[in-house]
Amino acid sequence: MSGLFELPEKYVELQREGRALAAQVVDIAARADEAERADPEVRELLQASGLCELMVPAEFGGRFEKVDSLAVTVVREALAAESAHLDSMFAMQGIGSYALGVAGSDAVRKRWLPAVTSVDAIAALALTEPHVGSDLRAISTRVEQRDDELVLTGHKSFITNAGDAAMYTVLAKEGDGYSLVVVPADTPGVSVQHPHQVIAPHILGDVLLDDVRVPLDHRVGESGKGFKLMLATLATFRVSVAGAAVGLAESALREAVRHTSGREQFGVPISQLGPVPAMLATSWTDVEMARALTYRAAAAAAEDPLGSLHLSSLAKVGATEAAGRVVDRSVQVMGRFGIVRGSKIERLYREARPMRIYEGSTEVILDSLAKRLVKEVTR
């Protein structure tokens, strides 16, 4: 399978780095995917790779002047081809800390960004609540300024890295607006529960905030401007989910091609039987179309994340839905071998599913894209 998109050398080198890291987890990916906490070996390999330098600006130990969406996207493509656990660990270092790099106080940046870069600290972003997912303006977690402290109370749910994170970037209501606040995990009043087990390898848990007090400089940016910062995070990282989906889909397709070329039924390889060749080629089409859109959107996001959010959204929906189709077809052409627990294809099948839900579900994104489309065409 050859790529159809020429990347500048800087990104080709990052692809190589990503693939080299992914190759090291091949033998431990299955084990790590059953983990309920961050796998120490995966964490050490990520640490040693230096790839989390992509997640913070150069000023704080990062590799590039600012976080570059295309760089993150091509690395996630490589990592997700082998391990969703590794991919998630990498992605969350950026998603959980991005707002700090944009608008954090000096003290907070110095404390957390170098530690996030070196993976000495694991980061998390806490938006979702038990009764609130897509409609984030309805959150009930509150932050209040009392003298020289910020006091938080609330319940965050389905938070990636809960329990492993050293810090949570928390979205809370403050007066009539919303603020983002950095909450170190060891602050009194913070506790973590793990009420859910999910089908795919994600370290997930609920974070309870009971009268949690942090210094004023832990508010990220101005009071009431947290939603805008959260959108900036989304605009930078949403397209990287598409990258992960492309990597996963290609990996599933390769499994299907290997299996169907090596196994014969009715005296011929399955890859030549009935609709199977068309299914494989249709999946290839899905992968390459998704990759082309993803790279285009990621290149635009690298220049202007907020201005190109619609492209990132198109890529996120296009690539995650394509990955769903590709893994499903791959399982089908592998027959009973496609559903054996612990096999790579079975793992990829489970790993593909949540991608269509997190960081904006397909339907929520399509709804906002449709509004933009109608506005553009009819103005």
Residues of this chain that bind ligand FAD (CB under 6 A): 124-128, 133-134, 158-160, 202, 204, 354, 357-358, 361, 363-364, 367
- Given the complex with ligand FAD, which of 128 and 330 has the nearer CB atom? 128
Q: How far is CA 289 from CA 284, 285, 296, 367, in A?
A: 9, 6, 11, 22
Residue 326 region, left (φ>0) first, then alpha (ψ -120 to 50), else beta?
Answer: alpha
- 358 three-state secondary structure: coil
To ligand FAD, the closest distance from the beta carbon of 206 in angstroms equals 11
Tell the smallest beta-carbon distance from residue 349 to ligand FAD (Å): 15
**How far is the C-alpha of 81 from the C-alpha of 327, rounded, in Å?**
12
Contact 261, 269 (CB under 8 A): yes
Q: How far apart (Å, rounded) are the C-alpha atoms in residues 182 and 187?
A: 11
Longest CA–CA separation in the chain, Å: 80
Name which of 134 and 265 has its Cβ closer to ligand FAD.
134
- Hey, how many other C-beta atoms are within 10 angstroms of the C-beta on 27? 9
Smallest distance from ligand FAD to CB 4, Å: 30
Q: Which is nearer to ligand FAD, 127 or 214 (CB)?
A: 127
Rank residues 115 and 159 by Cβ distance to ligand FAD and give the closer one. Answer: 159
Residue 128 CB, nearest approach to ligand FAD (Å): 4
Nearer to ligand FAD by Cβ, of 133 and 189: the residue is: 133
Nearer to ligand FAD, 77 or 206 (CB): 206
Closest approach of ligand FAD to the CB of residue 116, in Å: 15
Q: How far is the CB of 89 from ligand FAD (least distance, A)?
A: 12
User: In the bound complex, what is the minimum distance in angstroms from residue 218's beta carbon to ligand FAD?
Assistant: 18
Angle between the 226-262 and 69-80 helix axes, to the nearest 10 degrees?
40
Residue whose CB is nearest to ligand FAD in the complex, by number? 133
Q: Using CA of residue 261, residue 262, residue 263, residue 267, what is the dihedral sign?
A: positive
Nearer to ligand FAD, 192 or 292 (CB): 192
Residues recorded for the chain: 379
Instruction: Output 4 or 370, the one with its CB closest to ligand FAD.
Output: 370
Residue 129 is given by DSSP the state: B
CB of 200 to ligand FAD, least distance (A): 6
Q: Nearer Cβ to ligand FAD, position 180 or 279?
A: 180
| Pairwise CA distance, residues 122 & 70, whole Å | 22
Distances in Å between the alpha carbon of 353 and those of 32, 75, 120, 281?
Answer: 18, 20, 30, 22
What is the Cα–Cα distance from 56 to 35, expressed in whole angstroms? 27
∠ Cα 90 368 359 (to 5°): 15
The CB-of-201 to ligand FAD minimum distance in angstroms stands at: 9
Give the C-alpha separation, 326 to 336, whole Å: 17
